[in-house]
Amino acid sequence: MASEEQISAIKGAKVLMVGAGGIGCELLKTLALSGFQDIHIIDMDTIEVSNLNRQFLFRQSHVGQSKAKVARDAVLRFRPNISITPYHANVKESRFNVDFYKEFDVVLNGLDNLDARRHVNRLCLAADVPLVESGTTGFLGQVTVHLKGKTECYECQAKPAPKTYPVCTITSTPSKFVHCIVWAKDLLFAKLFGDKNLENDLNVRSSDATNLSEHSEDVFECRKGEDIEQYGRRIYDHVFGHNIEVALSNEETWKNRNKPCAIYSKDVFPDKLTKENGKTEKGSTTEDVSAMASLGLKNPQDVWSLAENSRVFYESLRLFFSKRQKEIGNLTFDKDDQLAVEFVTAAANIRASSFGIPLHSLFEAKGIAGNIVHAVATTNAIIAGLIVIEAIKVLKKDSNNYRMTYCLEHPSKKLLLMPVEPYEPNKSCYVCSETPLSLEVNTHHSKLRDFVEKIVKAKLGMNFPVIMSGASIIYEVGEDLEEDMVAIYAANLEKVKFFFPCSKNIKTINMNLFSFLQNVGLESTGIFLLHFSSLNYFT
């Protein structure tokens, strides 16, 4: 039972939740049942059928709708007297600025990507608002508390790049080639050649929700009287054409994303595939059956065109059904299976082409290994409960009892949860410390574009930088810039000697990001300002 002090802190708190997915649904439910009265939720995603097995606030009728809005409505049905404000939006939009964050007593993260986590971390530092961070991967999970000047911030320790990917990203909104590889390997390959009884999210899309039934036809089954060419074209048209068009019909999904394009076989295949792919193999074994060999493609380091990938897709499909028919239904992807690698590479590249993602060679595709660690509902529930426990401590300012808690897959000392005291801020952290960064720039060769792309965005993780030379803005990114200013800043990107005119080839620039967090010159926009605090010249 909560004490009167806890109840008072809970009822008077204004809480911001970021993310309404696996952790977010459990968190919103737990917050509401714990007595929180004023909750705000930000989430830009819409509900997919594949979410329904673990995001229990959603139902099949909600597919295609905003996660934040549906989660709000679901919770208000059993807690009608509380205030829940949903934002179907990207947390990185300029309206969610420092002033916006200052309205809240605590921020609770339930995000699934590093970029957004870093963004929220920096705004919480700038607004001096406590952040409770969280994450899960299968049976593993953690909850950490971050308070400016008292504990380490989210970026004090380097985070490894994630090797697992959310199912909804794989099936709906891929943005990297690895997403396409995982889709082709774990979904399409498994659907066509693997165990038919296993669950597969591939054919589940928003508009399918109203058409699903026990008697509905499996589009991936070869029909009676259908030859391999007809079957191959139909599969191609379904996964790269029809499914993309279904996704495009949900306009909410693409408000803040680049739209994919549907690709159909008639646009890339010749009228008769057998003439172009007509090479036959006699006495071939599993090891030497190869679509590349059949098509005369010799170099695995070549990046195939869309037409070549389409030919490899069909040829590998044909070879599986003509040469390895007995294995179909029992196959799992093996990186040492040449034909499987060829099929996955081709399928991933066609999907990448649809979503505007750069294509990769078979050699590169084979080296990209990534398996989805499916979300576990119980882990999400445990982590959500821990978030609320830490949030209550934060509201009570009970700093002596803050804990970073890790949920373990294999209990240590009979403990499923491992709580540890938060670490102190890392004095060399460029985000929350006062330690300046030193950068050497060759002013005769380096362009402003090099600095922006390689340092500001890639290394410092700033998406909307404002760069000043003295009192003058030389580069800025924002949603409300005038066209003439956009043109000026674009021209500046191509200039050398972009800081100060000087006769030296190299200069050292000391940059202090923390000074920005303390003195945000553009607080009202939430845009990060990179401030050059001093200059030292040397030869």
Q: Name the binding residues for Zn(2+).
A: 153, 156, 429, 432
Q: Name the binding residues for ATP.
A: 19-24, 43, 51-54, 67, 112-117
Tokens of 404: 């970073």
CB atoms within 10 A of CB 93: 16
Tokens of 371: 């398996």
Parallel, antiparallel, or unpaired for β 140-146 and 131-137? antiparallel
By C-alpha distance, which of 445, 450, 460 is closest to 517? 460
Tokens of 364: 């590169």
d(CA 509, CA 528): 18
d(CA 345, CA 357): 14
d(CA 321, CA 536): 68
DSSP state of 91: T
Helix, strand, coil percentages, rounded to 5, for the chain:
40, 15, 45
Strand order in the sheet with 14-18: 83-87, 38-42, 14-18, 106-109, 131-137, 140-146, 404-412, 415-420
d(CA 375, CA 12): 33
Helix, strand or coil, per DSSP, at residue 412: strand
d(CA 87, CA 97): 14
d(CA 53, CA 25): 12
The DSSP result for 280-333, as a single string, is: --SS--TTT--HHHHHT---TTS---HHHHHHHHHHHHHHHHHHSGGGTTS---
Give the H/E segment covering residue 84. strand 83-87
Give the H/E segment covering residue 392. helix 377-395
CB atoms within 10 A of CB 539: 5
Query: What are the start-end ranges of the H helices in 35-176?
Result: 67-76, 98-101, 114-127, 167-171
Query: What are the start-end ranges of the H helices in 12-60?
Result: 22-33
- Active-site positions read 168
For 523, counting Cβ atoms within 10 Å of its Cβ (0-12 exposed, 13-18 middle, 19+ buried), the class is: middle
